[in-house]
Amino acid sequence: MPDRDLGGTTPRPPRIQLLGFLPAILKPCGPACAQPFTNRTVAALKSEELRETPALLLDNANRAHAVADDLFRDFGDRIRIEVVGMDSPKGVWLGLRHRVGSGFAVIVDGREVFRDPNDYAPVKSAVSRALEARPNPA
């Protein structure tokens, strides 16, 4: 869907979705939400989660963090990053729509999908193209 001319308003920044099976620590609530119910510190809950989280989830979390760091370094506030867990309704839908298995994927503006990217350069190029495709603010 092409961006519409909004009469001089600033177009929305490209949305970069980091999709995968992720530990709860990357989800909006994470250990902080469990703290009032367990009467334990957030640090203790975080430590417990890291010990009990399967390696695949920790690997995906590390990859998401690395990609986000690179994107923020290269594009700053010109983009929107959204972390989406595959176990959420939105994650299931995105996974089916873009044929993402149990790995990790980066979806640039809903158009370009990088499944299990080992190289940041193609992701960076796709984000640059997404930015170039937007009209310049007047």
- Going from N- to C-terminal start, the domains of the chain cover 15-27+54-132
Q: What is the DSSP letter of 25?
A: G
Task: Domain 15-27+54-132: give its CATH code.
Answer: 3.40.30
pLDDT at 76: 94
The per-residue pLDDT for range 20-77, each reduced to its tens digit, is 988 766 555 555 565 555 666 767 777 877 888 888 888 888 899 999 999 999 999 9
Note whether 67 and 116 are within 8 A (CB): no
Closest CA to 21 of 71, 72, 64: 64
Mean confidence (pLDDT) of the chain: 83
**What is the band of 4 on the pLDDT scale with cuts at 50, 70, 90?**
low
